[in-house]
Copies of this chain bind each other. A is one copy, B any other.
Amino acid sequence: MSQATERGENDPIRVGVLGAAGRMGAQAVRAVEAAPDLAVVAAIDAGDRLGSVAEAGAEVIVDFTHPDAVMDNLRFAVEHGIHAVVGTTGFAQERLDTLRGWLDGAPGLGVLIAPNFALGAVLSMKFAQIAARYYESVEIIELHHNRKADAPSGTAAHTARLIAAARAEAGVPPGPDATTSEVDGARGALVDEVRVHSVRLPGLVAHEEILFGADGETLTIRHDSMDRSSFMPGVLLGVRSIAGLPGLTVGLENVLAL
């Protein structure tokens, strides 16, 4: 049974944080505690008893644990009528299907899986999808510190795919490119027909720039991410919204009223 029904109108939402000793989890604990309409009733990490979260009366769990642990945590949450806001990674299609099955048997219960809780990142992608309907030509520049192993970044590749899909849906063809002579790599990587350029320098943190161009004008959307504190407003928004979003929600963009 969901604990939500037992809460008074002005009582804070009761939150259990899983992975509370990790970097993200610890930030989540602090952020929830700082919010007057939310309260941390349990904060556990690997080795602690999951049962303590239910015993503490948590209405929502925030999960920043590990791909190996998160499915067990979510089964527990669903069985105990606790909503979940999940930042842990590793959700391929199979896991999402499993989750949907569990939630079919728990009407009213909500689970939010979000690969990126930064509002700016989510809004950037949303804006890019909108602009892609009106501009044939678009390229992405992503800039990260030089300790990053993959290029392009997962976020930039994801953005490229969203743009390509929005463009296809609107019947907008990719813009023309007159390049006939290229030093290998100059024009970037092609991800679903969208050019992506990856800059790597010490001093950078995590930045993404989406450039649209048409005759006589350009439109640029840029997101600069300095540190993981940028995820907390999105986590809190998820915690506050999840009781009103029954079933499985993937992506913070589906929580925002866009």
Select from chain B the residue with minimum beta-carbon distance to A149.
B180
Most chain B CB atoms below 10 A, which of A182, A188, A196: A188
Interface digits, A228-247 against B, CB 8 Å rule (1 contact, 0 not)? 11111100000000000000
**A204 adjacent to B197 (CB under 8 Å):** no
Is residue A214 within 8 Å, beta carbon to beta carbon, of the partner chain?
yes
**A120 adjacent to B217 (CB under 8 Å):** yes
C-alpha spacing A228/B199, complex, angstroms = 23
C-alpha spacing A186/B41, complex, angstroms = 46
Say whether chain A's binding surface is mostly helix, strand, loop, or mixed: mixed
Among the stretches A3-11, A59-67, A98-106, A127-135, the one at the interface with B is: A127-135
Interface digits, A133-161 against B, CB 8 Å rule (1 contact, 0 not)? 11101110101001111111000010000
C-alpha spacing A216/B231, complex, angstroms = 8
Select from chain B the residue with minimum beta-carbon distance to A234.
B134
Cβ-neighbour of A183 out of B178, B187, B189 (below 8 A): B189
Is residue A213 within 8 Å, beta carbon to beta carbon, of the partner chain?
yes
Select from chain B the residue with minimum beta-carbon distance to A199.
B139
Is residue A55 within 8 Å, beta carbon to beta carbon, of the partner chain?
no
C-alpha spacing A182/B141, complex, angstroms = 15
C-alpha spacing A26/B196, complex, angstroms = 37
| Chain A interface residue bracket vs B | 35 or more
- In the bound complex, residues from chain B placing their C-beta under 8 Å from that of A176 are 146
When all copies of this chain in the complex are counted, the total is 4
**A221 adjacent to B218 (CB under 8 Å):** no
CB distance from A230 to the nearest CB of B (A): 3
- In the bound complex, residues from chain B placing their C-beta under 8 Å from that of A134 are 119, 123, 233, 256
- The 17 sampled A-B contact pairs (Cβ below 8 Å) are A133-B257, A138-B201, A141-B199, A148-B179, A149-B179, A183-B190, A183-B196, A186-B188, A186-B196, A186-B198, A187-B200, A195-B200, A201-B212, A214-B233, A216-B231, A217-B223, A218-B223
- In the bound complex, residues from chain B placing their C-beta under 8 Å from that of A12 are none
**B185 adjacent to A189 (CB under 8 Å):** yes
Known: A183-B196, A215-B232. 5 other contacts (CB 8 A): A123-B131, A151-B183, A187-B200, A216-B228, A216-B231
- In the bound complex, residues from chain B placing their C-beta under 8 Å from that of A119 are 134-135, 214, 217, 219
